[in-house]
Amino acid sequence: MRAGGLVILPTETVYGLAGDASDPAVVAAIFEAKGRPRFNPLISHVADLAAAEKIAIFDDRARKLAERFWPGPLTLVLPIAPDTPVCDLARAGLDTVAVRVPGHPMAHALLARFGGPVVAPSANRSGRPSPTNFADAVEETGVSAAAALDGGPCEVGLESTVVALLDEARLLRPGSVTRAEIEALIGPLAEAEADAKRSPGRLARHYSPKAPVRLNVETPEPGEAYLAFGPGDHRWNLSPSSDLREAAARLFAYLRDADRTDPIAIAVAPIPGHGLGEAINDRLKRAAGFVG
């Protein structure tokens, strides 16, 4: 990574394609490897809060959230620190920066040794479901990586929650740190602006397999692959015990696995909308091509 190489990096959310956030050539190589639109800013990952305060300005709300949820699956969008090392390209030219301290021990070890901020967008090609295990990550972007770290299957399986703390606190992307948990700490969250450019994870079609995706299906049609939820004997049951955490952790791997069987469509059972269900339904709507 110090020599400018890209590294496939396990985190507790999804596998990332990681590189030096201060080097525009490295960041350009990541955009290239993902086929990612240039306007999409990347998250900078650091080992701890002290390292985060070198790249971004923390107010009281930011510090409260960081102390409660870091290391963990929460990203904060904050104003840049005066001498932020995160290069312009990584921020898509914005005067704000997205920052996170991941909890996965392998990610932490790498970040602590590297020292500086590391961008690590999901290791998939742009628009495809995020990889949540080593094999899927290597299949997606392994060809562009100088090294790949196998940290096992991702515990959370969904991308981090993204909260912007610029004026009003806004939820830019739901995730496994839930709206309710955040509001309990810093008060009500405003709705994210419709302007997708500020958070392209909000683009209507995203996280998509090749097959069309049909939602809220109780009974699949013949030829459809079925992602079930709740009791029953199915090849892809997101959670026989109706556990949202288990369903989140399996979602992307099952979408990919079902897609490999070339079904006429992937039908998905109804998933409750509370708690972690908000993030799961957000990703499913985008996989199906609907705005969330």
The residues of the shown chain that bind ligand AMP, judged by CB under 6 A, are 40-43, 75, 77, 91, 94, 96-98, 121-122, 159, 162, 164, 172-173, 198-201
* Length of the chain (residues): 292
CB of 126 to Mg ion, least distance (A): 8
Backbone angles phi, psi at 169, to 5 degrees: -70, 130
Tell me the residue nearest to ligand AMP as measured from the CB: 201
Q: Does 122 bind Mg ion (CB under 5 A)?
A: yes
Of 120 and 267, CB closest to ligand AMP: 120
What is the distance in angstroms between the CA of the first residue and the CA of the last residue of the chain? 36
CB of 118 to Mg ion, least distance (A): 15
Out of Mg ion, ligand AMP, none, which partner does residue 96 contact, by CB within 5 to 8 A per kind? Answer: ligand AMP
Q: Which amino acid is at 16?
A: G
CB of 34 to Mg ion, least distance (A): 8
Out of Mg ion, ligand AMP, none, which partner does residue 94 contact, by CB within 5 to 8 A per kind? Answer: ligand AMP
Of 30 and 269, CB closest to ligand AMP: 30
Out of Mg ion, ligand AMP, none, which partner does residue 199 contact, by CB within 5 to 8 A per kind? Answer: ligand AMP
Asked if omega into 71 is within 30° of 0 (cis), the reply is: yes
127: its two tokens: 């628009």
Strand extents, DSSP E, the chain: 7-9, 16-20, 43-45, 74-79, 96-100, 118-119, 147-148, 161-165, 169-173, 213-214, 224-228, 236-237, 265-268
- Binding interface with Mg ion (CB under 5 A): 122
